[in-house]
Structures are given as C-alpha cells and as structure tokens.
Amino acid sequence: MNHKILISMLFLVVGYTAVAQQVLLLYPDSIPNSTVKLSKDEQPTLEIYLPVKEKANGTAVIIFPGGAYAFLAYAEEGTTIAKAFAEKGIAAFVVKYRLPKNETMRDKSLSPLMDAQQAIKMVRSKAMEWNLDPKKIGVVGYSAGGHLASTLGTHFSKSYIPNTENISLRPDFMILVYPVISMEDKLTHVGSKISLLGMEPSKEKVALFSNELQVTKDTPPTYLTHCGDDNTVDVNNSIVFYQALQKNGVDAELHLFPKGNHGFTQRLPVSEWMEPMLGFLKREGN
C-alpha cells in the first residue's frame, strides 16, 4: 500500500513539473527586424517557471543568459537560475533572445532589445493569468545578458516593438551579474561589442549602447555583483554603472568579491549568490 502511495506521489510531482514549464514564442506572428523567415529553433522564446501557489509572492524575474551575444549559456545562466527563483516563490521567465546577425536582420544591434521589450510586454500583459503583481516584474542578466537587461532598463521610454496597448516596458528592478555595461573601448568586452555593433560602429551607436551613459532618475533600482579578478568582463563595468545610478538618485546595491573570476555564480552554492539578491528585493518591496 505504501509503495503504491509513493508511486502516486511521484507521478503527481512529475505531472506538476511538466505543466509548470512551458515555452512560448515571443512573437505569435511576424518577427520584427527580420529579413528572412526563421526556423523554429531560431525563433525567440519565453520559458516559464511558475512557483507553486503556496509559495508564490507575486514577484517575477525575466532572465537573460549571457554568451557575448554570440551564443546563449541557456542552462547555466538561464534555466538553472529560473528554477532557483521559482523555488523561492518568484516566477521566472527565461528569454531565448535573437543573437545579432547581419544576414538575417535589418539592424542587428536592435534585435536583442526588441526581444527583451517583447518579453516584458508579454509577462506584464499576462500578469493576472500567471498570478503576478504587474508592478513587481524585474530583469536578471548575466554577462552580455546583463548588458541586454541594463539596455532594457535604460531604453524603456522608446518602444522598438509594436505596443499599441501602451504596456509599460520599464522593469521594476534589475539584477545584473558580472554584466557588460559599456561599449566604450576602455571598458567593454570586445567580443560582445563586435557581436552587437560590428567592427566599426559609429560614435553615436557606441554611446547609445553604453548604458552607464543612459542612466536617469527613472532607471529602475539595481543590484550589481561582480568579482575584482574577472578577466573576461572588467569589474569597472559594474562600478561605473553603480556610480551613474548613485549620481541620479537611483537605489542601487553593489556586491564586489575579490576573487571568483567570470561566471562565479556557476561555481557557488545557490544560497551564496541568491540570498543577497533576495535581501535586495525584499528591501525594495518585492
């Protein structure tokens, strides 16, 4: 009898997991800024991880994995992170955004931002369906995904996607983990810059996507974390963004570790990198 009960319980757990994880296309119709029809594998998507109702607190995070705008560390900086947030009662959504390509895009620098805006528009528009507070929807970005998250958080006043419903594209908070912030030569991660902007971008384009230059008083509250010995993305990316936030009176929290290099959250127990983030969210009312 106990054996049968155990099997039934396992079946319920497996069934719940299958229902809880869904993958939706970001664009049900045409994909903006595309010059060719994308295959199913190339289409941008939103993967959904909803917490059990008993734990759900209404807060949501939209996660952008890194990969220098050349690939996506989708498991390490996407689904793994989403599961950890969902376990804490926070709904999590992983974005498979388009990687910049001249061959398939009119302006390759805009496609990731379009996908980021579409993702927050979709999540906010479905807040009631997914049991979310529409005023507690933030973004989490890792490495180049941190650049995309901070671009969304500093460029929300202009809609690069159709938005006739006038849904707010502003994240309510940002969590940026060893992020690329600047496109300026002295700070940027060269691979990310070339992937996004090309070999010889204009000064205007460099300035537009150097997000430390785009901070205003309306930029969302931000949590940043980085390692001083990061030999991939200069720690000063996080520092200059923090300084810009401070200058504009935006709530900001900066956690710097002396050692750990790039991708340090992948090598630490979840509690070590997540607890400070949760503390920040709680202090900000999320």
**CA 228, 185, 215: angle at the middle one, nearest 5?**
75
Mean pLDDT along residues 257-285: 91
pLDDT tens column, 244-255: 999 999 999 999
Please state, in angstroms and rounded to a whole number, the distance separating the CA atoms of residues 71 and 37.
20
pLDDT tens column, 52-69: 999 999 999 999 999 999
- 148 burial via Cβ count (<10 Å: 0-12, 13-18, 19+): buried
Averaged pLDDT score across all residues of the chain: 92
**Quick check: 226 and 141 in contact, CB under 8 A?**
no
**Quick check: 51 and 90 in contact, CB under 8 A?**
yes
- Structure token pair of residue 160: 């690069």
Q: At what angle do helices 144-154 and 190-197 cross, to 10 degrees?
A: 60
* pLDDT classification of 184: cutoffs 50, 70, 90: very high
* pLDDT higher than threshold 70 for residue 19: no
Identify the pLDDT of residue 21. 74
Query: Burial code of 111-138, b = ≥16 C-beta within 10 A, e = fewer?
Result: bbbbbbbbbbbbbbebbeeeebebebbb
* pLDDT higher than threshold 90 for residue 12: no
Helix (H, G, I), strand (E, B) or coil at 259: coil
* pLDDT higher than threshold 70 for residue 240: yes
pLDDT tens column, 100-156: 999 999 999 999 999 999 999 999 999 999 999 999 999 999 999 999 999 999 999
* pLDDT higher than threshold 50 for residue 7: no
* pLDDT classification of 3: cutoffs 50, 70, 90: very low
Please state, in angstroms and rounded to a whole number, the distance separating the CA atoms of residues 54 and 41.
34
Identify the pLDDT of residue 265. 87
Identify the pLDDT of residue 13. 42
* pLDDT classification of 5: cutoffs 50, 70, 90: very low
Of 55, 73, 51, nearest to 63 by C-alpha is: 73
Identify the pLDDT of residue 272. 86
